[in-house]
Amino acid sequence: MRKTAFALGLTAALGLAALPALSAPRVVNKTIATTEGRPARLGEAQGWNDDCTPKRTTVTILGRPANGHVTVIDVSSRIPSKAGVGTVPPGCVGKPVPGKQVVYTPRLGFRGTDAFEYVIAFNGVPAVTCRISVTVR
C-alpha cells in the first residue's frame, strides 16, 4: 500500500493549517471578499503519492451560488516542502504536480453576500468539504 500526502494551497485562502490525518472529510468554513464583476480565486489543491506520482484531484461543486458562478480550473504547480496532510517524501520537493483551483465570479451588478460549497477528493476519496461565504462589494 502506498502512503499518500497532499497539500492545499488553500492554506492561506481558507485558513488551513497542517491538517491531521483524515478519517472523514474535514469541513472548512471560510469567508472571502471580492469586488463587483471581479473573479475571486481560491487556493490550489493537489496530491501525490510517496513515489512522487500525482494523485487524481477532483473538485465537486455541491451547492452553487445564487448570485454568481463557480468554475474549477486545472492548474500545475510544484510539490511544496511541507504537506497539509502526511509528509513530503525525500526527492519529491519541487516536482511538478497537477491540481485544481476554484474560481468564483459574481453576477454583473450583484453586491452582497453569496455562498457555495464544494468537496476536494484525491483518487476518489473525499478529503475536504469547503463552505465558502463571499462578500461582493
Look at the alpha carbons of 70, 75, 81, 87 in this order and tell me if their dihedral is positive or negative: positive
Under DSSP, the state recorded for 10 is: H
Confidence of residue 14 (pLDDT cuts 50, 70, 90): very low
Give residue limits of the domains in the chain.
4-13+28-136
Question: In this structure, what is the dihedral angle of CA atoms 80, 85, 87, 89, given to the nearest 10 degrees?
Answer: -60
Cell of 26: 474535514
41 has a pLDDT exceeding 80 = yes
Instruction: Give me the percent of the chain exceeding a pLDDT of 90.
Output: 69
pLDDT average, residue stretch 39-65: 93
CA distance 92 to 109: 45
Q: What are phi and psi of 34, to 5 degrees?
A: -150, 175
Supply the pTM of this predicted model.
Answer: 0.80
CA distance 42 to 39: 10
38 has a pLDDT exceeding 70 = yes
Encode pLDDT of 79-135 as tens digits: 998 887 778 988 999 999 999 999 999 999 999 999 999 999 999 999 999 999 999
Q: For the sheet containing 112-122, what is the strand order?
A: 26-34, 125-136, 112-122, 57-63
More confident residue, 100 or 8: 100
2 has a pLDDT exceeding 60 = no
Please tell me the predicted confidence (pLDDT) of residue 5. Answer: 59
| 4-13+28-136: CATH architecture | Sandwich (2.60)
